[in-house]
């Protein structure tokens, strides 16, 4: 059985109020999520026009709704399903499910500005997964075994390429589930870069510190493969809950418990058919396989482009010359499955990475400095990882120092964070123009900038290299910066914003506020 937690809980039915205060939407898989979006104007579209998964699909969605750090022109728009995929009759591909905070709000049930707080509450009130019978698992309705004649995952699943430079087709939203080789109940789930290399092989890229990579290394040390399942097309609560990182979810913590906390009911798992591992029972597609010991391949061995794929900072990363290999044992799917993908640098990555980042920082600051940090926003410009805006409310002169301590706490709790901007409670941290206004009127560069050099950051930031900064001895090391754009407490009365009369503007402009004219 999956890892158990010492917790009691009441199962929440869809549409009922969650004990922590939000209403649980009627969503328990990808299909019910799509049905919910269909009821919301402007949040979902479909097209029957044929699209090529090689370069074209991502090229289309770049204009429709990618957003994030994608090169302009782009925008935040609806989720989109392509119903006709060139070379794959009957296949469907969904992109952009979580590519706006408004959609995440609808799918998780909390207000747009409180999503980070909701995630924090779910992390504190986890519900462990449960295993169900195979007959009740939709993900195993159709089975393709790798030892069947003619098996070729390249013909079964329309993995897209994002650009002409990509090393190959990628599964961009494959949630990899693995276990400690010595303790199967010690489960970890993470989204990784998965490149299709052959009819039954994938390469997998691990950023430093990933827990499944620790499991792989442990198995490899004994010459053994690591059994994993790759789960695609999920209830959105599952992938967003899985993107928490240490120390908020330390080694040995099963992130599926967070999705359970969000929904008020456990995630359902099922035994895989061909490897000793679990799969997510209501997934659209599951790839079962093993990470092979002591086998490595060049990520671009088939294309020779020298590039990998577009990553969240907005650049196309270099192909890795030596990556572990997953040997595929089988593919199981629902009937008429939907392959879910994302545009690497887009707003969907911001939601997946950024909202758990907000929750992690909020939790740690709340415990260390109660009442000071009001909210946290992991900004799109940093892909949800590099830039955080912290909104604080100072109550005394001592909070001047505590505010900067909060920024240091944020840098400590989230290793990949690079820059922190501090703003007061009267600044809208979700409005970039308002944040920049605070920087222009409440910030002096030589007084209010704090540099912390030589810290671990993220290997996908091209400025974190010895070539960019000769002081850096290893890739993924950087100087982190705090921009204190708050007013010193003793000067608060001199920085009061112009106060306007409170009125109901809908009386004058009803159409702008969703009301009928009188």
DSSP secondary-structure letter at 209? T
Assess contact for 289 and 296: CB atoms under 8 A. no
Report the alpha-carbon distance of residue 105 to residue 125 in Å, rounded: 19
| Catalytic site positions | 311
Question: What are the residues whose beta carbons fall under 8 Å from the beta carbon of 209, sequence distance 6 or more?
Answer: 245, 246, 415
Q: Pick the closest to residue 513 from 106, 42, 505 (CA basis).
A: 505
User: Per the structure block, which two tokens stand in for 104?
Assistant: 């995440």
Q: Pick the closest to residue 269 from 133, 176, 123 (CA basis).
A: 133
* Residue 453, H or E segment: strand 449-456
DSSP secondary-structure letter at 497? P
**DSSP line for 11-76:** PPPTTSBPTTSPBPPS-SSHHHHHHHHHTSTTSEEEE-S-B-TBTHHHHHHHHHTB-TTSPSS--B
Report the alpha-carbon distance of residue 358 to residue 294 in Å, rounded: 37
CA 481 to chain centre: 24
Three-state DSSP class for residue 116: helix
Report the alpha-carbon distance of residue 389 to residue 382 in Å, rounded: 11
How many other CB atoms are there within 10 angstroms of residue 357's CB atom? 31
How many other CB atoms are there within 10 angstroms of residue 393's CB atom? 15
> CA torsion angle for 104, 107, 112, 113 (degrees, to 10)?
-90
Report the alpha-carbon distance of residue 192 to residue 325 in Å, rounded: 13
DSSP secondary-structure letter at 276? S
């Amino acid at each position: 059985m999956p890892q158990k937690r010492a917790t009691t809980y009441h199962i929440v039915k869809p549409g009922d109020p969650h004990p922590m205060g939000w209403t649980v939407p009627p969503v328990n898989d990808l299909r019910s999520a799509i049905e919910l979006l269909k009821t919301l104007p402007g949040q979902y579209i479909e097209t029957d026009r044929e699209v090529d998964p090689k370069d074209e699909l991502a090229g289309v969605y770049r204009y429709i709704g990618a957003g994030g750090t994608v090169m302009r022109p782009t925008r935040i728009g609806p989720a989109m399903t392509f119903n006709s995929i060139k070379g794959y009759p009957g296949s469907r591909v969904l992109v952009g499910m979580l590519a706006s905070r408004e959609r995440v709000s609808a799918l998780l049930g909390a207000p747009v500005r409180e999503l980070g707080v909701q995630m924090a509450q779910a992390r504190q009130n986890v519900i462990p997964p449960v295993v169900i019978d195979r007959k009740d698992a939709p993900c195993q309705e159709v089975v393709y075994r790798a030892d069947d004649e003619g098996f070729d995952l390249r013909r079964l699943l329309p993995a897209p390429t994002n650009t002409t430079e990509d090393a190959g087709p990628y599964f961009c939203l494959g949630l990899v589930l693995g276990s400690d080789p010595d303790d199967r109940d010690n489960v970890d789930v993470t989204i990784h870069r998965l490149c299709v290399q052959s009819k039954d092989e994938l390469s997998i890229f691990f950023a430093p510190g990933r827990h499944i990579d620790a499991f792989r290394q442990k198995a490899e040390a004994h010459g053994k493969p690591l059994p994993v399942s790759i789960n695609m097309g999920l209830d959105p609560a599952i992938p967003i809950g899985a993107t928490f990182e240490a120390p908020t979810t330390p080694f040995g913590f099963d992130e599926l418990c967070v999705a359970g906390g969000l929904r008020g009911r456990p995630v359902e798992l099922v035994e895989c058919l061909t490897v000793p591992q679990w799969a997510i029972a209501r997934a659209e597609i599951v790839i079962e396989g093993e990470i092979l010991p002591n086998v490595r391949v060049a990520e671009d061995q088939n294309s020779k482009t020298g590039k990998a794929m577009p990553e969240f900072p907005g650049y196309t990363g270099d192909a890795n010359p030596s990556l572990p290999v997953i040997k595929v044992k089988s593919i199981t799917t629902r009937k008429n499955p939907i392959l879910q993908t994302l545009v690497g640098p887009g707003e969907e990555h911001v939601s997946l990475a950024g909202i758990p980042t907000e929750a992690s920082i909020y939790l740690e600051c709340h415990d260390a400095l109660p009442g000071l940090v009001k909210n946290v926003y992991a900004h799109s410009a940093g892909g949800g990882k590099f830039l955080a805006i912290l909104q604080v409310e100072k109550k005394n002169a001592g909070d001047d120092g505590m505010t900067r301590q909060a920024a240091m706490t944020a840098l400590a709790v989230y290793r990949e964070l690079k820059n922190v901007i501090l703003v007061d409670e009267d600044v809208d941290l979700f409005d970039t123009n308002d944040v920049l206004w605070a920087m222009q009127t409440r910030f002096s560069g030589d007084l209010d900038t704090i540099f912390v050099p030589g810290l671990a950051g993220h290997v996908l930031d091209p400025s974190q290299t010895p070539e960019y900064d000769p002081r850096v001895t290893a890739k993924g090391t950087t100087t982190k910066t705090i921009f204190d754009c708050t007013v010193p407490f003793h000067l608060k009365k001199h920085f009061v914003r112009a106060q306007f009369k409170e009125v109901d503007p809908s009386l004058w402009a009803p159409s702008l506020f969703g009301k009928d004219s009188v």
